[in-house]
Amino acid sequence: MQRRQFIRLAQTGLLGSLTTGLTIAGKAIAAPPKPVISKPPTLDPKNLNIEWLGHMSFLFTGQGQRILSHPFKPAGCTAKFPEPKPKTDLILIGSRLLDEGFLAALPQDTQLLYLPGAYKVSGINFQGIRFDHDRLGGRRFGTNVAWLWQQAGIRVLHMGGSASSINPDQRILLGRPDVLILPVGGSEKAYNAVEAKAIVDTLNPKLVIPTYYLTSKAEKTCTLAKVDEFLALMPDIKVNNITNSKLQLTASKLPETMSISVFRA
């Protein structure tokens, strides 16, 4: 079954009669057909390797799994980035907007998570938490799914294109992440610098990775703010600038004191 068919069936509630293997909110449900998985990367399983592909898109490699988040179609704020289409075992998206949920260039048999709920895929637990994608209760851009999972012993939270504050129920689900990937560039569908700082203060992660900000890869029409506006609000936090788009983390070596890693492009 092709993934586009899987998406349509999931939306109409027919998925449970077709596949098996995933769980959502603690109940057994359908899973997409098993894709043809290529050989896992030969990297140290104790490490989590994070590669920034531009905008909100990352490739997480660890624990024998490759997880791609938020693939986009190059245009506007992402115009000069190459289209993300690495080999991957699973795709996470928060919505179907073209700058964070563009799937056309990816293999159609790759497993995909895009709805809120609790899932287990290849031994990794995922929690999808629903947020508004704008400041109007989702009336303009709908909803966004923030993804929380533990890979190679590291709790990762990717907030996607969230624009609403954290309510008490969401706070319980989120806990304290080790790594917080957070939009900071503002616009009508994601946190601005002030809002992003409030999220950091609430969650108190060990490492913050800003995303969704103005880079040199954008067209002139892009209205996102630069990441430096967010950094200016956190002058006492150590900032590591990364210019090669790759970051390697080890659970046992994560510092308790918060730091920020910024991918520069």
Residue 155 sits in a domain whose CATH number is 3.60.15.10
Token output for 4: 């586009």
Q: Identify the pLDDT of residue 14.
A: 33
Q: Identify the pLDDT of residue 141.
A: 75
Token output for 265: 């492009």
Beta strand 27-29 pairing with 22-24: antiparallel
Residue 180 lies in a domain: yes
pLDDT tens profile 133-175: 777 776 787 789 999 999 999 999 999 988 888 999 999 999 9
pLDDT tens profile 105-124: 788 888 999 999 999 999 99
Element (H, E) at 249: strand 246-250
- The segments of the chain whose pLDDT lies below 70 read 1-45, 101, 138
Q: Identify the pLDDT of residue 33.
A: 43
* Helix, strand, coil share (%) of the chain residues, nearest 5: 15, 30, 55
Amino acid identity of 241?
N
Residue 121 lies in a domain: yes
Vertex 70 angle, CA 202 and 45, to 5°: 80
Residue 91 lies in a domain: yes
Which pTM was predicted? 0.81
Vertex 65 angle, CA 61 and 71, to 5°: 65
Amino acid identity of 198?
A
Residue 21 lies in a domain: no
Element (H, E) at 90: strand 90-92
Residue 89 lies in a domain: yes
Residue 23 lies in a domain: no
Q: Give residue 142's region: left, alpha or beta (phi > 0; psi -120 to 50).
A: left
Q: What domain range is 52 assigned to? A: 44-263
Residue 85 lies in a domain: yes
Backbone CA torsion sign across 145, 149, 151, 153: positive
Strand partners, 118: 127
CB 91 within 8 A of CB 83: no
Domain count across the chain? 1
Residue 18 lies in a domain: no
